[in-house]
Amino acid sequence: MHDDRRLIEGRLARVLSERIAPAIYPESVPLRASMWVAPDEPVPVAEGIAALRTPVEPGTRWGAAWGTSWLTVEGTVPAAWAGRTVEAIIDLGFDGTMTGFQCEGLVYRADGTPVKGLHPRNQWVRIAGSAAGGEQVLLHVEAASNPVIGFFAPTTLGDKATAGSEPRYRLGRMDLAVFDEQVWGLVQDLEVLGELMHEMPEDPARRYDIVRAIERALDAVDLQDVNGTAAAARACLTAVLARPAIASAHTIHAVGHAHIDTAWLWPLRETVRKVARTTANMTALLEQEPEFIYTMSQAAQYDFLKQHRPEVYARVKQAVAEGRFVPAGGMWVESDTNMPGSEAMARQFVHGKRFFLDEFGVENREAWLPDTFGFAAGLPQIIKAAGSEWLLTQKISWSQINQFPHHTFWWEGIDGTRIFTHFPPIDTYNCSMQGSEIAHAARNFKEKGRASHSLAPTGFGDGGGGTTREMIAKAARMRDLEGSPKVVWDTPAGFFARAEAEYRNPAVWVGELYLELHRATLTTQARTKQGNRRSEHLLREAELWAATAAVRKRADYPSAELDRLWKTVLLHQFHDILPGSSIAWVHREAQQTYEQVAEELTALIERAQWVLGGERGGENVFNAAPHAQDSVPAGAAGPVAAGAPCRVAERPGGGFVLDNGVLRVGVDARGLIVSLIDLAQERETLPPDGVANLLQVHPDLPNSWDAWDVDLFYRNRVTDLVEADSVVAEVDSSGAAVVRVGRTFGSSKVEQALTLRPGARGLDIETAVDWFETEKFLKLAFPLDIHADRYAAETQFGHLYRPTHTNTSWEYAKFEACNHRFVHIGEPGWGVALVNDSTYGHDLTRTVRADGGTTTTVRASLLRAPRFPDPDTDHGAHVFRHRLLPGATIGDAVREGYRINLTPARPGVADTVEPLFSIDNDAVVTSAVKLADDGSGDVVLRVYEAHGGRASALVRPGFPTAGVEVCDLLERPVPADTAVAADDAGVRLRLRPFQLVTLRFARSPEPSAG
């Protein structure tokens, strides 16, 4: 037989798009339309509905960037349409090829009740399922003219202040129309079969069965009367649609989904409305589709609805109660997981899970992070400590170099905790039920032969409006269809339970889930990262001193303020805010927010300290770090011991030599460190002819994703900043030896202070940069005379090791990586740590010298200057602090990392303050001291083993206790742990490497007076 498949395929494509799909709405009448433009920011619904309108019609230009316009459409259902399904079609000027990132609308009835959202693939509003004829139609649309921000081209559209006032859109079709469900069903039938046909091999009989069925259906369609012949055409397809899938077919668990970035190419205020539009859509769809299940993560987004759109939130709560709208993930936001500190990462789960428990009675067992840019190795323990056991992610499929070898696996963290993890083989978190996606999932699934189930988050994200009725219809046809994977609607928990039961012995992946892409998010938008780091440590201090004041002085504990401030900081850890990949508006507001957070937390800290410390002007300072500093115990207030002044001498050949009896530092006339000697070990830190404190500038134009990416070829060109405008030295009033260096380069300048303090084991480097470069990358380099095949970088509740070599493509891909407060490079018996107060990105390379020695160079990443999506990224003034520690152990790195971020620098007070807890082993580090969240007055202590070894410690409470419990992160009792034993002396801990423990101490009742 002659092969005419291509002919049939071409016929299907044309007839479906040009004749059948347009016949879905065979009759229509125009709606009358009028519009009011809000003068500035969005207004309340009642105000928008009541405002005076101006008539408009299709083709009218509307919508300045970031504006809000209220559109009203009115009409009457013709009497001739009685008994037929009628819908309003409202096209705000959508580009159907983009499912998000453009204008959007939320439809309201005359009384202000929300109906549904309007989006590019979702422009309809159901008026009547069976019209009586004569119905009056009156709908209001809150239309947001969010601009289309094209990728990678510098744009001023990312901030309302620079976006201009030109209209961005033209109104399109605004009609009442008859909806022909039979034709609509024919479209779904043909699309499913046509897409399935294209994904099948060419020779199986099944493909030819589909071809011939489609041919018969197209023959049955009268192109002059599609509506009258659609039923006959569908009858031709019944048999091929009814053929069941083979028993071994892969099963895809679809869950309705709309990944909504909490901020990205829009500000936070617009996310509130995006969530309202999408959830209005989804709750309406749930009412119409009994098998459909929808999931939404990010407790903060539910809270947006609760605070700003209570009428939509009421619908969500009802759908949650029915089990159809599923809160997922148990986190406050889908945060970045590389950069948030230990306690902040824990609080993402504390606040997220508690919100879902309090609002809905839902306990999440899964973490849901489809779009996060890689996963820190400390995360499994945190997930488990929060009472969860599963993780879903997707983004690893974006990796540039290596293909991840598993889709369902155990992920093992630094402490040995394992989390059952799924990485959907469909390779998208915006599945639209296209045949190509469904077939790819089955082909791509790496656990074939061992497992047969995968998950597909289904729906248009961001501005796309979520799952559509078309997706649900296509899923129904693929529920049990020969040649296709089976598709079922399910909850995340339902999928995970089924997958875990099926796959009892999955493969194990140990360590971080590194994304081989978006590496520059560890550096971009330095102010945002500094705001986060500072906020995290201020929150630690505020909880510590407020809890101490509550226990010691019966002061009120500011629970509500701390709860609100924590949620603000957690919100800004979203995976496009903290990573620096949002528009200028987002980061401008983030900087303002961090300043306000710092002001409020500083006030809380000082209030507690004055309560504890008595009169101002004394000699005692507060130490919030987990180790003693300058003779002040951890968590206490006391006097600082002064050390002998440092010495400064001129260096032969120019420059200066600094000496404090512990270190001797040589700084040349260029302001570069040419010698750093550990006097106790008589060891030089730098390699022969090596110079440290070397600022280096690289060109930085990645192939794509400007704010997100740095490509390895950036290293091919480098400019070393070796010329100095000034190099001067002094011994300051504290006895510290300081060398001050000034440089200019390009359009920027830098001033550095190299400070050696009395008795200090490290050299402080403060770098103040006025940065006005474009598409450049600024690094601060420290070459070290160390031979090591691995190095340590701090992560949540511990550290991980990364190779210093590039033996394999996996190591080669990690050319930019994350650290928290320190990196440590060591040989047996001697090492060097570089600690910081606000930088996260770094790189580490090694070379072998002519003398046979190894030079290992660590470089801190300071600043970038991408132009998209913020054309002025990082421009302005910045200050970075680093401390270089020769002879450092891992324990020294941990201690000094806390010290540089929690320096005891508060104004002196008269009274000493004893700590609430003392711990007799520095390897057991305090992460948090606070009062319990339930208002009971119990004191919560969270500790972890920080050195990577076994640790025994005695925890002594400094207040009368009535008992102690081991708890999870939500401060709920957990089964007894053999690592914890309480006796009269305190609580004895025997911890595994990096083990995290939360202890809850009940306080003894206060003795009654008299």
* Contact (Cβ atoms closer than 8 angstroms) between residue 499 and residue 451: yes
Cα–Cα dist 148/157, whole Å: 8
Cα–Cα dist 740/882, whole Å: 15
Q: Are strands 663-667 and 737-745 parallel, antiparallel or unpaired?
A: unpaired
The owner of tokens 């408009």 is 56
Cα–Cα dist 235/243, whole Å: 14
Cα–Cα dist 781/384, whole Å: 38
| 699 half-sphere exposure, CB direction, 13 A CA radius | 6
Cα–Cα dist 190/200, whole Å: 15
Q: What are phi and psi of 826, to 5 degrees?
A: -145, 150
* Contact (Cβ atoms closer than 8 angstroms) between residue 472 and residue 292: yes
Three-state DSSP state, 272 = helix
Cα–Cα dist 328/833, whole Å: 40
What are the structure tokens assigned to 126, written together?
Answer: 């159901």
* Contact (Cβ atoms closer than 8 angstroms) between residue 328 and residue 346: no
- The kind and range of the H/E element at 559 are helix 559-571
Tell me which of 209, 222, 371, 563 is the catalytic residue: 371
Counted residue by residue, the chain has a size of 1010
- The kind and range of the H/E element at 752 are strand 748-756
Q: Got the DSSP string for 921-988?
A: -TTEEEEEEEE-TTSS--EEEEEEE-SSS-EEEEEEESS-EEEEEEE-TTS-B-S--TTEEEETTEEE
Active site residue 371: yes
Residue 154 exposed, middle or buried by CB count within 10 Å (0-12, 13-18, 19+): middle
Check residue 508 and report its DSSP letter.
Answer: E
Cα–Cα dist 892/896, whole Å: 6
Beta strands in 668-711 (DSSP E): 673-678, 683-684, 694-699
Residue 359 exposed, middle or buried by CB count within 10 Å (0-12, 13-18, 19+): middle
Beta strands in 111-173 (DSSP E): 114-118, 124-128, 136-145, 167-170
The owner of tokens 């410690």 is 953
The owner of tokens 């006959």 is 232
Q: Got the DSSP string for 774-834?
A: SSEEEEEEEEE----SEEEEEETTEEEEEESS-SSHHHHT-SSEE-SSEEEEEETTEEEEE
Closest by CA position to 799, among listed 894, 886, 685, 692: 894
Q: Are strands 86-90 and 174-178 parallel, antiparallel or unpaired?
A: antiparallel
Closest by CA position to 337, among listed 393, 268, 389: 393
The owner of tokens 């705000």 is 92
Q: Are strands 647-650 and 656-659 parallel, antiparallel or unpaired?
A: antiparallel
CA 600, 601, 604, 607 torsion: positive or negative? Answer: negative
| Sequence-separated (6 or more) residues with CB below 8 Å from residue 375 | 337, 338, 369, 391, 393, 411, 512, 513
Tabulate helix, strand, coil % of the chain (nearest 5).
Answer: 30, 30, 40
Q: Active-site residues: which are they?
A: 371
